[in-house]
Amino acid sequence: MQPFAIIALVLILTRVVTELWLSGLNQRHVREQANEVPFAFRGVIDAAMYRRSVVFTGIALSVPGLPFAWYVQFKIEQRFGFNTTSMKTWIADRIKGLLLALLLGYPLLLLVLKLVEWTGTNWWLWAAAVVIAFQLLLLLIAPAIIMPLFNKFTPLPEGELRQRLFALAQRTHFPTRSIEVMDGSKRSRHSNAFFTGLGRFRKIVLFDTLIAQLTEPELESVLAHEIGHYKKRHVIKMLSVSMAGVVVAFAATAWLARQQWFYRAFGFTYQGGFAAAHFVPAILLFAMLAGTISFWFSPLVHVWSRRFEYEADAFARVAMGETQSLIQALRKLTKNNLSNLTPHPLYSSFYYSHPTLLERERALGIEG
């Protein structure tokens, strides 16, 4: 075997072993903590519910991969009372997802390969530009065209909640056209809030499950947190980094595609030139390795995204003038999503984009 193939294989194997080890480490850690509900949770979560969250997390995380999606949805989520998806919805989702991938992804791949032939040496710059433009277009059309394929969106009805949320948006200088309710309960009891669309097309979306679970001040604090992400420019920062990632990935693919040893390492013959077919192995192999390489960078990315969460929480504290609503909302959401409260620190550094509830409460000034 060629040295490069050996390095690639070692990278992939080390990742698999590390993932298994982290998962074992975390399960042991969580089990050790399972008998006591952390202080901050007393009164919100009873001991039985807490142990249930520990078991759920354990199981959900030990079943990796897409082939298990059905199992997770209908056996595990069902067992813990989250699943509300009908079989019909589940199958329709899979078909719509596949059609979208075919309709949008396949032409994009063909276009990238054509660019190799059309533009020669600088193909990777063109390809990166096209993929980035495509991503931006997707962001722009998703709220109007793609998301309604999967969910129903209705304007938040007139009333106190609507007034309260629009007042918050105005107070924080967050221009929004509409606040809509999404039928998240069609699929599960998990809850969320987000905003979507760019510029004037922006709208705030609340899951119906969120509205059912939280009081009005709590809902306002969740929205204040989301607005914090926008005001602190987190979305633009994340987007810029992902765009830079696209450029780096194409540059690396273009470089690899010029290396004879790269082809030999994987048993292909190097032909040179800019025939599209000849670039397919380089693109496929790079895509295969990209996941493994990005896995080793995930702790870095997560340090960054957790800092964003703290910043958004701090923004919400200022916008609300108090911390209790946000803390109560976070506690309820953690309880209702049965999130793991006490992951092993090493495990969470690889897999958690958000700080745990206890860390967030501590940052908001409440000692756990």
| Residues belonging to the active site | 226, 313
> 178: which strand partners?
203
> How many CB atoms are located within 10 Å of the residue 179 CB?
19
Q: How far is the CB of 308 from Zn ion (least distance, A)?
A: 7
Smaller CB separation from Zn ion, 222 or 282:
222
CA 322 – CA 314 distance, rounded (Å): 10
**Minimum CB separation from Zn ion for residue 154, in Å?**
24
The nearest distance, CB 206 to Zn ion, in angstroms, is 14
Q: Are 188 and 84 spatial neighbours (Cβ–Cβ below 8 Å)?
A: yes
Site for Zn ion in 307-346 (CB under 5 A): 309, 312
Neighbours of 112 (CB within 10 A): 22
Beta-bridge mates of residue 111: none
Do residues 247 and 240 touch, judged by C-beta distance below 8 A?
Answer: no
Question: To the nearest whole angstrom, how small is the minimum distance from the Cβ of residue 315 to Zn ion?
Answer: 10
Helices marked H in 35-86? 47-62, 69-71, 77-79
Query: Which of the residues 294 through 313 are near Zn ion (CB under 5 A)?
Result: 309, 312
Rounded Cα–Cα distance for residues 174 and 220 (Å): 13
In degrees rounded to 5, what are phi and psi of residue 178?
-150, 160
**188 DSSP β-pair partners:** 83
Residue whose CB is less far from Zn ion, 72 or 312: 312
Shortest separation between residue 68's beta carbon and Zn ion, angstroms:
27
Site for Zn ion in 76-135 (CB under 5 A): none
Nearer Cβ to Zn ion (220/309) = 309
CB 154 within 8 A of CB 185: no
**Cβ closest to Zn ion, residue 197 vs residue 228:** 228
The site for Zn ion, by CB under 5 A, has a size of 2
Per the DSSP assignment, residues forming a β-bridge with 180 are: 155, 205
Residue 283 CA to residue 253 CA, distance in Å, equals 6
**How far is 319 from 166, CA to CA, in rounded Å?**
13
**Residue with smaller CB distance to Zn ion, 218 or 309:** 309
Contact residues for Zn ion, defined by CB under 5 A: 309, 312
